[in-house]
Amino acid sequence: MARVAVVTGGTRGIGRAVCEQLRSDGFTVVANYAGNADAARAFSDDTGIPAYRFDVGDHQAATEACARIGEEVGPIDVVVNNAGITRDGTLLKMSYEDWNDVMRVNLGGCFTMAKACFPGMKERGWGRIVNIGSINGQAGQYGQVNYAAAKSGIHGFTKALAQEGARFNVTVNAIAPGYIDTDMVAAVPEPVLEKIVAKIPVGRLGHANEIARGVSFLCSEDAGFVTGSTMSINGGQHMY
């Protein structure tokens, strides 16, 4: 029986590419989405991958959804924490709600999904958790104190949980994408985007399937000795 993988924020952009890649790898894939039902229906119609609607930042909703997926699809062996939102603004203009919403979804979502799925992975003696961070969590970004803090927190969360899961064959890793040609980046004004691309040594934006291939490796049997790591896929924009 194929292992079950859940990809949060899985109906568009990087999430969709990850869903399609993991399915081609032989996983039974389930996508999560938060609000865009039309996009989710189109995704499921195109791919045949079921999409479950719930807020990853809502602990009870996420716990109940993971239990339902376990009953309807099968025990969850792989979680890809990809869901994320932005509420950009400088500190002086940022409201508490802007701060809290981003922390609740982007970082809190990693906690809720891991909390719901880690016990089963531990019991079965196999699991993969891949958290999608960001170059802006590594290097910071003007006007994104909330987003950068949440994504930076993901990297610390990954290292700590990796130590808890290691002896149970549950690996926990992160990927820090650079600027990828998704809808989120497409919303950046053209003059700003040109300046961003000028700082990327390879001279272009990344593609969602390039992130998906990194996730594919970290979810594979071949990556069993890789845990607590952050894979940077950013075209050389940030090296350390």
Question: What CATH number belongs to 4-233?
Answer: 3.40.50.720
> 190: buried, middle or exposed (CB in 10 Å: 19+, 13-18, 0-12)?
exposed
Residue pair 101/84 in contact (Cβ under 8 Å)? The answer is: no
Residue 140 pLDDT? 86
35: Cβ contacts below 8 Å, ≥ 6 apart: 53
Take residue 167 and report the two structure tokens written for it.
Answer: 């002896």
Kindly name the residue from 33, 52, 142, 147 that is annotated as catalytic: 147
Nearest-angstrom CA–CA distance, 146 and 108: 13
| Beta-carbon contacts of residue 57 (< 8 Å; ≥ 6 apart) | 101, 104, 105, 108, 109, 112
Quick check: is 147 catalytic?
yes
Q: What is the pLDDT of residues 174-226, one digit of tens each?
A: 999 999 998 777 778 888 889 999 999 999 999 999 999 999 999 999 999 99
pLDDT at position 216 is: 98
Per domain, the residue ranges of the chain are 4-233
Q: Whole-prediction pTM value?
A: 0.95
Sheet with strand 170-177: strands edge to edge: 51-53, 28-33, 4-7, 76-81, 127-132, 170-177, 230-233
Using alpha carbons, list the distances in angstroms from residue 102 to 56, 71, 176: 12, 30, 17
pLDDT value of position 192:
85
> Which tokens belong to 143?
């006007």
Pick the closest to residue 177 from 40, 38, 82 (CA basis). Answer: 82
pLDDT at 187 (0 to 100): 78
**pLDDT 10s digit of each residue in the chain, 240 long?**
799 999 999 999 999 999 999 999 999 999 999 988 999 999 999 999 999 999 999 999 999 999 999 999 999 999 999 999 989 999 999 999 999 999 999 999 999 999 999 999 999 999 999 999 999 889 888 889 999 999 999 999 999 999 999 999 999 999 999 999 987 777 788 888 899 999 999 999 999 999 999 999 999 999 999 999 999 999 999 897
Q: What is the pLDDT of residue 10?
A: 96
Q: Cβ of 171: how many Cβ atoms within 10 Å?
A: 24
Q: Which residue has the tokens 């039974």?
A: 28
Which tokens in the block code for residue 225?
């000795």
Q: Check residue 193 and give its pLDDT.
A: 87
